[in-house]
Amino acid sequence: MADIVLAAEYTDEVTANIARGMLESNGIPAIVEGSNMARMYMAGATWAPVRLMVRSEDLPTALNLLKECGDI
């Protein structure tokens, strides 16, 4: 079983899901972990970031793709 690691953090779920879609279209499964508290209180990323998670073995490729596409 692969470890799930942090690839990037975002201030909102829309941006995180766009990045997730790009990764998945390139064959890298990804998960967006949002914060219900951030949605309830309209908090910014400093308090409750939205995290984009990938398998540890996919992290180097994911980071390269995210950088190339301007998603981080």
Cβ proximity of 37 and 10 under 8 Å = no
pLDDT of residue 34: 82
Whole-model pTM? Answer: 0.81
Adjacent-strand bridge partners of 51: 9, 33
On the 0-12 / 13-18 / 19+ scale of CB atoms within 10 A, 48 is middle
Instruction: Report the CATH number at residue 51.
Output: 3.30.70
- As for how many domains the chain has, the answer is 1
pLDDT digits (tens, 9 = 90+) for 39-72: 555 555 456 789 999 999 999 999 999 999 998 7
Higher pLDDT, 36 or 17: 17
Q: What is the mean pLDDT of residues 29-47?
A: 68
Each residue of 7-19: pLDDT tens digit?
Answer: 999 999 999 999 9
CA 63 to chain centre: 10
Backbone dihedral angles phi then psi of residue 14, each to the nearest 5 degrees: -60, -50
Domain with 11 in it: 4-68
